[in-house]
Amino acid sequence: MKNIKGPAIFLAQFLGDEPPFNNLKSICKWAASLGFVGVQIPTWDARAIDLKKAAESKDYAAELKETVESCGLQITELSTHLQGQLVAVHPAYDIMFDGFAPKSVHGKPKERTRWAVDQLKLAAKASKNLGLNAHATFSGALMWHTVYPWPQRPSGLVEDGFKELAKRWLPILNTFDKAGVDVCYEIHPGEDLHDGVTFERFWEATGKHSRVNMLYDPSHFVLQQLDYLQYIDFYHSFIKMFHVKDAEFNATGKSGVYGGYQDWINRPGRFRSVGDGQVDFKSIFSKLAQYGYDGWAVLEWECCIKHPEQGAKEGAERIRDYMIRVTEKAFDDFAATGKDPKLNRKILGI
């Protein structure tokens, strides 16, 4: 067994225009003051990183790494969640997802996709320059509008969808492979990879590409009413990243899994600060330790009630409490009798 690293924090929800959240150095000092030892960096936010520069300049990558390490932290991974989303966008979502891309490609879906693919390839090179071995992203979605089968999906639609999704991702996956970095898809509603079955279908469509892996976030499984503990039993070999995010699901007589188009605070399923929801993190950390997960435990704060700074402070403390220092010996070693082949044969009656 191996030890989980952490606590770390995903900076995406905390970066802003006011100090100490307005640049990488100051937000890292803030994170370190709360007890975090790692940061996951969103590559679309120029306040934290120049992705193109990090991919093309080893000197800049070294400076970036030094900035973080001077605060007593490590870079855990880079994230391209927003750019990954744009690798595959159904036309129904074009207008809403344009906001994830530069204005120069708004209203130009093909150009936007090319931009997104280029961003992912830059992220592979930047990760390599920073000495990272895993990367966080979304898969995008061509089929999400058909997730509920009414009207009935035409025969072959899903197969064709995964075939196209794999076709778009294979050049990106090959670039990451050359860089020695795993692509960890966050399994998330709104993506074509939103549960175990869809992950498997995508993996198979890519020819079981070795760089296809997962970012495990149990909060999304609470909202889908999926067994997030057994999920680890099934997919632990693919789990290379971990977002520590809480959620709760409280069904009512008026609204259920689909949420009734309500705001987050009124939905039956909603995200909460770590420790305030229903996720059994003690069991999750135990299972991950059991299977030898040695990646980072990264706080992702999303809560419609609690202030983010309180959520971050409590999150660092709670992750540290959940973390397990794995044992190096069996609890019953005190009663061991040593190895004796003759004795073993006698006990077996042979």
Query: Who contacts 349 (Cβ-Cβ below 8 Å, separation ≥6)?
Result: none
Write the CA distances from 163 to 153, 204, 225, 318, integer angstroms: 16, 9, 28, 41
Residue 314, token pair as written in the block? 């409590």
How confident is residue 327, by pLDDT bands cut at 50, 70 and 90?
confident
pLDDT value of residue 338: 85
Question: Does residue 74 carry a pLDDT above 90?
Answer: yes
pLDDT value of residue 123: 98
Question: Does residue 176 carry a pLDDT above 80?
Answer: yes
Q: Tens of pLDDT along 16-58?
A: 999 999 999 999 999 999 999 999 999 999 999 999 999 999 9
What CATH number belongs to 5-348? 3.20.20.150
Question: Does residue 335 carry a pLDDT above 80?
Answer: no
Name which residue leads in pLDDT, 332 or 237.
237
Q: Tens of pLDDT along 136-171?
A: 999 999 999 999 999 999 999 999 999 999 999 999
**Where are the chain's structural domains?**
5-348
39-48, 90-99, 119-128, 340-349, range with the lowest pLDDT: 340-349
Q: What percent of the chain has pLDDT over 90?
A: 95
Outline where 34-156 has alpha helix (H): 51-56, 58-69, 81-85, 94-97, 109-129
Place of tokens 């070795």: 210
Question: Does residue 97 carry a pLDDT above 80?
Answer: yes
Cα–Cα dist 309/18, whole Å: 13
How many distinct helices (H) and strands (E) make up the chain?
Answer: 13, 10
The three state secondary structure string of 213-255 is: EEEECCHHHHHHCCCHHHHHHHHCCCEEEEEECEEEECCCCCC
How confident is residue 333, by pLDDT bands cut at 50, 70 and 90?
confident
Q: What percent of the chain has pLDDT over 70?
A: 100
Query: Who contacts 325 (Cβ-Cβ below 8 Å, separation ≥6)?
Result: 3
